[in-house]
Structure 1
Amino acid sequence: MRILISTWSLQVGGGEVLAMNLAAELQRRGHEVYVFNQRAELIDHDLVARLLPPQVKVLSMADNPKSTFWAYKINALQGLLGRPATFYNQRQQAYLAECLLRYKIDVVSSHATVSDDICAPVVERLGLPLVITEHGEYTKFLQEGRRDFLPVLQVAKRILAVSDYCRHKLERAFPSLPPCRQCTMALLRKLMLPRQLVVRWLFRPKHLYSAWWRGGLRTKAGGTPYKRFSR
Structure 2
Amino acid sequence: MKILVATFCLDKAGSHVLALALASELAKKHTVYFFNQNEQLVDPGMVAQYLSPAVRVVAMDRYPLFNEVCWKLNALFLRLGAKFSVHEKAKDWLGRYAIRRYGIDIMHSHEPLVARSRITRLVQRTGVPTVVTDHQGYSMLIKVGEFGYVPYANLARAVVGVSRYTADLFTGALVEVPTEEERRAGERILASDYQHEYENATQQAAPGPRQPVTTRVEVIHNGVPRYAPGGAEPAALPIPAGSFVFGMVGRGNQQKGWGDALAAYALVKARFPARRFAFVAMGDGPYLSTLRAEYEAASPDIYFLGNVQTPHPYMRQCQVGLFPSWFSEAQPISIIEFFENGVPVVASPLGGIPEMVCPPAGPVAGRLLAMNPDATPRLDDLVDAMSAYVADGALLARHAGAARALRATYDVAECAARYEALFREIVG
With normalisation by structure 1, the TM-score equals 0.74
More divergent stretch after superposition (134-143 vs 86-95): 86-95
Hey, what's the Cα distance between the residues in 1 that align with 2:132 and 2:69? 28
CA contact (8 A) 1:15 1:112 kept: no
**Which residue among 211, 215, 237 is the counterpart of 1:178?**
215
Alignment match, 1:128:
128
What code does the residue aligned with 1:40 have?
A: E
Q: Which residue of 1 aligns with 2:72?
A: 70
Provide Cα deviations, 1:56-112, integer angstroms capped at 9, x if missing partner: 11111222322441364367458x66x4x3544322111100011111111000002
State yes or no: 1:169 paired with 2:206. no
1:134 and 1:166 in contact (8 A); partners too: yes
Deviations 1:187-210 (A, max 9, x none): x1x33x5454789x67x8xxx444
CA distance in 2, matches of 1:14, 1:167: 18
Larger radius of gyration: 2
TM-score computed with the length of structure 2 as normaliser: 0.42
- Cα deviations by residue, 1:99-140 (Å, 9 ceiling, x for unpaired): 111111110000023799212222332221000111111111
Q: How does 1:31-46 map to 2 (within 5 A)?
A: 31-46=30-45
- After superposition, the C-alpha distances for 1:9-39 in whole angstroms (9 at most, x for unaligned) are 12220111110001011012x1000100011
The alignment status of 1:144 with 2:144, answered yes or no, reads yes
Give the secondary-structure state (helix, strand or coil) at the position aligned to 2:141: helix
Kept in 1, the 8 Å contact 2:151–2:211? The answer is: no
Q: Indicate how the Cα distance of structure 1 residues 36 and 125 shifts in structure 2: closer, same or farther if over 3 A, else same.
A: same
Change (3 A) 1:71 1:23: farther
Distance 1:143 1:31, change over 3 A: same
User: CA contact under 8 A between 2:112 and 2:133: conserved in structure 1?
Assistant: no
Change (3 A) 1:210 1:140: closer
Note the 1:72-151 alignment, pairs <5 A.
Answer: 72-73=74-75, 76-77=78-79, 83=83, 85=84, 87-113=86-112, 117-151=117-151
Say which is worse superposed, 55-64 or 97-106, in terms of deviation: 55-64
CA–CA distance in 1 between the matches of 2:72 and 2:112? 25
**SS of match in other structure, 1:122:** helix
Q: 1:151 to 1:71 in 2, by over 3 A?
A: farther
Aligned length: 203
Question: Using the alignment, how far apart are the partners of 1:134 and 1:210 within structure 2?
Answer: 25
Are the structure 2 counterparts of residues 75 and 12 from structure 1 closer, same or farther at C-alpha, using a change threshold of 3 Å?
farther
RMSD of aligned Cα (Å) = 3.2
Task: Return 5+ residue gaps in structure 2 as ranges.
Answer: 173-209, 229-311, 313-335, 346-365, 367-385, 387-428
Q: Is the 8 A contact 1:71 1:91 kept in 2?
A: no
Q: Normalized per residue, which structure has more helix?
A: 1
Tell me the equivalent position of 1:47. 46
Asked if the contact 1:107/1:129 (under 8 Å) is kept, the reply is yes
Give the corresponding residue for 1:221.
none
- 1:57 to 1:98, Cα distance in 2 relative to 1, 3 A: same
